[in-house]
Amino acid sequence: MRNCLKYIHTNSRGYTDDNISYFADGNTVVFIVIPFDKLKSHANYLRLVVTTLIRSAVRRPSDHKTTFICDEAFNLGYISEFETALSGYAGFNITMWLVYQDLTQIKDTYGDKWETMIANCTVKQFVARDVFTQEYVSKLMGDTTHVIYRQGLLGNIINIQSNQRHLATPNEVVRISKDKMITFIDETPVTLLPKIPYYDMPELKDKDGRNLYGPNPYVKDSK
């Protein structure tokens, strides 16, 4: 921690009030990587850095869109800046991409405000593994009309009955989540997007088929 803070203080570009906003110049990527076993013990540090960067981007708006991707966001704990950002920072060209394991993590962190957090997201992506998330996604997908009828002896349709049902039941949401992301974009109907591992994406290979990333020791197929 001490060495990391020292680096931030002495870095030639420097994280100062005058130039901290350089990361929002449209040509810079900043990675803040903490070992998984240090996420809890260093959560205060992570909250400090993330909040500082977000506020810097707000104070000096850029013509370029700045995206904050926070994986394992639950381990950061409660960050009031996330609530503010989701509700009002879109006008500053700031996009928040928060990744949680399930809706329960959001509910545990933000209490009664958890649904407001989700409602303020233009894009919502779900891979529902727990019952609470499955039921929520099923309701969010809406209803459809299920028509039942019989065919008469002359081929005519008789005894038409219709009833409403969820577009996908919680059990069906589980099966969909196996190989697809259930995605809601603004007010458009639900969209099912394929789950493609990054090492299978042609966009991440050069013209000769070589990977544009280093091998991942935790993923066998990533080499």
Residues 48, 153 within the same domain: no
The span from the CA of 50 to the CA of 58, in Å, is 13
Res 40: pLDDT: 83
* Domain end marker among 121, 146, 162: 121
**214 and 133, same domain (yes or no):** yes
80 lies in the same domain as 167: no
Q: What pLDDT does 28 receive? A: 82
Alpha helices per DSSP H over 95-201: 103-110, 114-119, 131-141, 170-177
- Band (pLDDT 50/70/90 cuts) for residue 23 is confident
Provide the domain limits for residue 22: 1-121
Of 88, 121, 154, which residue sits at a domain end? 121
Global confidence as pTM: 0.79
Provide the angle, in degrees to the nearest 10, between the axes of the packed helices 131-141 and 103-110: 100
SS3 call for 199: helix
The answer on 108 and 178 residing in a single domain is no
Q: Both 103 and 31 in a single domain? A: yes
Does residue 48 have a pLDDT over 60?
yes
Encoded tokens for 93: 């060209």
DSSP, collapsed to helix, strand or coil, labels residue 193 as: strand
Beta strands in the chain (DSSP E): 66-70, 94-98, 123-126, 143-151, 157-166, 180-185, 191-194
Q: What are the tokens at 149?
A: 């009828």
Number of domains in the chain: 2
Same domain assignment for residues 102 and 76: yes
Q: Are 130 and 104 in contact (CB under 8 A)?
A: yes
- Is residue 15 located within the same domain as residue 62? yes
Clarify whether residues 165 and 193 are in a common domain.
yes
Residue pair 168/184 in contact by the 8 Å Cβ criterion: no
Give the orientation angle of helix 80-88 with respect to helix 43-59, to 10 degrees.
30
Same domain as 198, residue 154: yes
When pLDDT is cut at 50, 70 and 90, the band that residue 19 belongs to is: low
pLDDT reported for residue 6: 43
Looking at the fold, whether 59 and 148 belong to one and the same domain comes out as no
